[in-house]
């Protein structure tokens, strides 16, 4: 997701012509953008946790942000990048879902292992019972069943980025209104 504020160059050029281009004029805009992407990132992490999309935590750790100056714009970027065991970024598959396809089995076996969905567990100790080979066979069997289901139906979307962006729109507007008011106030100062 990208948050782009256009017209920053024009604003800065106008301020420079007026002799007011200093840190005090551009800093509020940068701070507003940084706070905006921080809030969107935090909400996306909360969403991915809340929609039960976490097995290893890689997706949650892979949600990051940055602020960039580009020609004619101040850009805030909130991105999600999570690589599974096959070096495939699966964040878009979580956000948008997938069409039916045959996914590789290895990440699914790892997922079954991390989620503790296969096997027999002791009620008393809550530990998984059985030998290593039995556990591996049970994990593989579950992974194969999930693989077949994905091959037939794909995966449902579990959006986390877009809802985060949408839920923070009003706050982002408020932050930039405040920043513009600060810039306007510094414009009147000597």
pLDDT digits (tens, 9 = 90+) for 97-109: 999 999 999 989 9
Confidence band, pLDDT 50/70/90 cuts, at residue 186: confident
Can you give the pLDDT at residue 2?
A: 59
- What pTM was estimated for this model as a whole? 0.81
Q: What is the mean pLDDT of residues 76-89?
A: 80
In angstroms, the CA 184 to CA 162 distance is 32
Instruction: Check whether 13 has a pLDDT greater than 70.
Output: no
In angstroms, the CA 167 to CA 140 distance is 39
pLDDT digits (tens, 9 = 90+) for 139-174: 999 999 999 999 999 999 999 999 999 999 999 999
The residue whose two tokens read 């100056």 is: 69
CA distances from 93 to 16, 49, 98, 116, 184 (A): 46, 16, 6, 22, 44
User: In this predicted model, which residue has the larger pLDDT, 81 or 22?
Assistant: 81
Can you give the pLDDT at residue 72?
A: 66
Instruction: Check whether 187 has a pLDDT greater than 90.
Output: no
Share of the chain above pLDDT 70, in %: 82
Can you give the pLDDT at residue 31?
A: 92
Can you give the pLDDT at residue 83?
A: 77
pLDDT digits (tens, 9 = 90+) for 17-76: 655 555 666 788 889 999 999 999 999 999 999 988 888 888 999 999 999 877 667 789
Can you give the pLDDT at residue 84?
A: 67
């Amino acid at each position: 997701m990208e948050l782009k504020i256009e017209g920053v160059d024009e604003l800065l050029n106008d301020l420079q012509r007026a002799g007011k281009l200093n840190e005090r004029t551009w800093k509020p805009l940068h701070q507003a953008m940084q706070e905006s992407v921080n809030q969107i990132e935090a909400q996306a992490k909360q969403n991915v946790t809340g929609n039960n999309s976490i097995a290893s935590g890689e997706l949650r750790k892979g949600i990051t942000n940055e602020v960039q100056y580009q020609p004619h714009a101040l850009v805030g970027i909130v991105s999600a990048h999570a690589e599974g065991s096959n070096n495939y970024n699966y964040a878009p598959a979580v956000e948008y879902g997938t069409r039916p396809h045959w996914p590789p089995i290895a990440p699914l076996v790892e997922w079954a292992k991390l989620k503790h969905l296969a096997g027999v567990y002791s009620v008393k100790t809550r530990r998984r019972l059985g030998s290593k080979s039995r556990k591996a066979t049970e994990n593989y069997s579950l992974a194969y069943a999930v693989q077949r289901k994905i091959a037939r139906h794909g995966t449902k979307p579990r959006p986390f980025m877009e809802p985060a962006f949408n839920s923070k729109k009003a706050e982002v507007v408020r932050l930039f209104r405040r920043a513009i008011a600060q810039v306007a106030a510094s414009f009147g100062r000597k």
